[in-house]
Structure 1
Amino acid sequence: MSEPTAPAAPAAPAAPAAPKTDPAELKITGLTKSYGPDAPVLQGLDLTVPGGQLAAVLGPSGCGKTTLLRVVAGFLRPDTGTVTVGGRTLSGPGTHLPPERRRVGIVPQEGALFPHVSVARNVAFGLTGRDRAARRKRTEEMLELVGLAGYGARMPHELSGGQQQRVALARALAPEPAVVLLDEPFNALDSALRSGVRADVRAALRATGATAVLVTHDQQEALSTADLVAVVRDGTVAQCATPQDLYRRPADPWVARFVGDAVLLPGTAEGGSAVTALGRVPLAAGTAGRQEGTVLLRPEQILLADPSPADARGTVTEVCFYGHDAMVTVDVDGLDDPVGVRMAGHVTVRPGQRTGIRVTGEATLHAGR
């Protein structure tokens, strides 16, 4: 294959010339997988990713994220359950298609490019059954799509970490897969590169219309990148929702703590609001009747102000400044556990200072304490 000469700087990402493929829904039902009688990993996991969307699978170490990806890719056979893409069964009772027949692309950690061949040949690796001209055309389209037009002649070691991840994505997208699996692909990148590469990957997936699953342990990455976020706990999906709904209305206190910072207060709900140590807090729609439970707020919903008779009061114990915002810890009068308050802009409070505390917006109530 002839390869173009590399320029000094990458071109901006552009839409591909090739037509988009029809997006295919990924549907996983009742998936179980164990590595022995005493080592269950997936325990009846259900997950549906609509065609053309990106779902982030988020969860603590050992919850089954990577095992799920390997089952969808065909590297592992599930004990029970089904995996279908666009209505086509990949795994199920009596069926287990090998990886090469699944139309599933994979972007592994750290790219995993072939070090002894050029970028162009890496991208063209999966383009079997096409003549040389078609392979070259598709390779050039994919490199243009990920912002590396003209980089085909370079060797992988001549690229930065972010560029290598873009090449890995181009290689995964080149055969026009129905589903793309991304296994923590940004882990090896420093924070300055990570957000830019994430944005480029998201744009490339949207341009091709591929359905995608991103496995990550980074909550901010999941919330900022995905159309849907599935939180996995003990081998099942604890909650799957849009990033906004997941953050604002988590299914239970565990999900609330795992996805972002949470303020959890005992409270008694009645008449659409809850009485708490921070005062009466409006509740989201759907809470009816009188009940006791745990009231969930986010730190940015709490404001510190000069004390007034209507405000709860507390003492500032710690201020952690992060530049774009700060997290202030307050011991609230009448509350056993301290409360975290997220403040933007200039922070004027200091440890030891007394302050008034006010709540903005709605809370959610979870039964039990």
Structure 2
Amino acid sequence: MTDLQITGLAKSYGPAARVLDGLDLTVPGGALTAVLGPSGCGKTTMLRIIAGFLRADAGTVTLGGRTLGGPGVHLPPERRRIGIVPQEGALFPHLSVARNVAFGLTALDRGQRARCVEEMLELVGLAGYGDRMPHELSGGQQQRIALARALAPQPQLVLLDEPFNALDSALRAGVRADVRAALQATGATAVLVTHDQQEALSTADLVAVVRDGRVAQCATPEEVYRRPADPWVAGFVGDAVTVTGTAQAGTATTALGSIPLADPPGGLREGLVLLRPEQLQLAEPASTQAQGTVTDVRFYGHDAMVTVTVDGLREPVEVRVPGPALVGPGGRTGIRVTGEATFHPASA
């Protein structure tokens, strides 16, 4: 299997610029893992170390059991069997599409190269585009050609460095789906670096959230979203509703009412109760324990986000409702909670 194993990775750019601080990450063979985090958290530095463009100060990188980098070991990029899809495709402008895809196939004869190029173009949905030049392609087509070029040499690992940033929102979802389908068809292990939470959750098999040079949580997209490791992860990966509460016997008592907990702590504990906006529902004030006043409504088409100042809470909460909201700013509403919350005990 082509598992990627990163252990204790550290990298600094000077005494006061520590970017990676003992980062650990395991990517199972054949999986697409999204590395998600804010700017400056070390995502791109990690990617460049995996590719061999940078040397780590400490730690090891192994791929399929083979050490790529570590104490006394640093394989050059061309010996790592890693394909790279950079931002904006970075195709060779003077080469045709076919010659771009064939660029890394130096070990094959002419006939084998031609067959491989045809297979790769068909895989990414651009069969027949081999004679075109890069400037004749749309941004989404250029990204698919960049993926075909990365996959053609049959790498053990594909690294995607925020490859959809330059695409408009209408193209992005379609190209993401095409890229995911192509990776699945080849069984390639892949790492996608992104700062787009929606992109990470909708595309990857695993999501690794990086904070201050370390992985704060690595799990399936659903686990990261529904069971965040801490309040910071909850707030970074999607919208979060946070209220204080007291947990006891699997239930938290809060200003929003009694809320069942996933993985409740033992005993009586004070802490933060984490919910998602879609777990809150607007209701008739007389029918709920929690009541408040609507202060803002933001309509997004498929849903709306309603901000409510709840009686007894210092901070307002946000409620995601399907379609248009039936109550406007200044209106009174009740709030009902559905599902389970995540509880994080207060620090001792």
Pick from 25, 28, 31 the counterpart of residue 6 of structure 2: 28
Q: Residue type matched to 2:22 in 1?
A: G
SS state of the match for residue 11, structure 2? strand
Alpha-carbon contact 2:280-2:336 (below 8 Å) kept? yes
The alignment status of 1:305 with 2:283, answered yes or no, reads yes
Give 1:153 shift. Answer: 0.2
SS state of the match for residue 222, structure 2? helix
SS state of the match for residue 103, structure 2? helix
* TM-score normalised by the chain length of structure 1: 0.93
| CA–CA separation in structure 1 for the residues paired with 2:288 and 2:158 | 54
Match of 2:90 in 1: 112
Q: Residue type matched to 1:144 in 2?
A: E
**RMSD, aligned α-carbons:** 0.8
Give 1:142 shift. Answer: 0.3
| CA–CA separation in structure 1 for the residues paired with 2:150 and 2:211 | 28
Where structure 2 has 5 or more consecutive residues not aligned to the other structure, the ranges are none
Match of 1:138 in 2: 116
Q: Residue type matched to 1:211 in 2?
A: T
Give 1:368 shift. Answer: 1.1
Match of 2:59 in 1: 81
Match of 1:315 in 2: 293
The alignment status of 1:338 with 2:316, answered yes or no, reads yes
Match of 1:55 in 2: 33
Alpha-carbon contact 2:264-2:343 (below 8 Å) kept? no
Match of 1:127 in 2: 105
Q: Residue type matched to 1:202 in 2?
A: R
Pick from 259, 262, 285 the counterpart of residue 284 of structure 1: 262
Deviations 1:325-357 (A, max 9, x none): 000000000000000000002321110000111
Task: State the number of aligned residues.
Answer: 347
Aligned 1:1-369 pairs, distance under 5 A: 23-308=1-286, 310-368=288-346
| CA–CA separation in structure 2 for the residues paired with 1:78 and 1:268 | 44
| CA–CA separation in structure 2 for the residues paired with 1:309 and 1:286 | 27
SS state of the match for residue 286, structure 2? coil
| CA–CA separation in structure 1 for the residues paired with 2:288 and 2:67 | 61
Give 1:288 shift. Answer: 2.1
Deviations 1:106-142 (A, max 9, x none): 0000000000010000000000111000111101100
| CA–CA separation in structure 1 for the residues paired with 2:265 and 2:16 | 40
**% identical aligned pairs:** 77
SS state of the match for residue 297, structure 2? strand
Give 1:309 shift. Answer: 5.3
SS state of the match for residue 283, structure 1? strand
Alpha-carbon contact 2:306-2:325 (below 8 Å) kept? no
SS state of the match for residue 38, structure 1? coil
Q: Residue type matched to 1:118 in 2?
A: S
Give 1:39 shift. Answer: 1.1
* TM-score normalised by the chain length of structure 2: 0.99
Deviations 1:287-310 (A, max 9, x none): 221100000000000011111254
Gap change, CA 1:309 and 1:137, over 3 Å in 2: closer
| CA–CA separation in structure 2 for the residues paired with 1:281 and 1:36 | 48
Gap change, CA 1:232 and 1:204, over 3 Å in 2: same
Give 1:311 shift. Answer: 2.2
Gap change, CA 1:196 and 1:309, over 3 Å in 2: closer
Match of 1:4 in 2: none
SS state of the match for residue 285, structure 2? coil
Alpha-carbon contact 2:287-2:334 (below 8 Å) kept? no
| CA–CA separation in structure 2 for the residues paired with 1:345 and 1:336 | 28
Match of 1:8 in 2: none
Which stretches of structure 1, 4 residues or more, deviate above 6 A after TM superposition? none
Give 1:318 shift. Answer: 0.4
Alpha-carbon contact 2:208-2:216 (below 8 Å) kept? yes
Where structure 1 has 5 or more consecutive residues not aligned to the other structure, the ranges are 1-22
Give 1:285 shift. Answer: 2.7
| CA–CA separation in structure 2 for the residues paired with 1:75 and 1:289 | 51
Deviations 1:33-80 (A, max 9, x none): 111122111000000000000000000000000000000000001111
| CA–CA separation in structure 1 for the residues paired with 2:137 and 2:169 | 18
| CA–CA separation in structure 2 for the residues paired with 1:286 and 1:294 | 12
| CA–CA separation in structure 2 for the residues paired with 1:311 and 1:277 | 8
Alpha-carbon contact 2:204-2:221 (below 8 Å) kept? yes
Q: Residue type matched to 2:219 in 1?
A: A
SS state of the match for residue 153, structure 1? coil
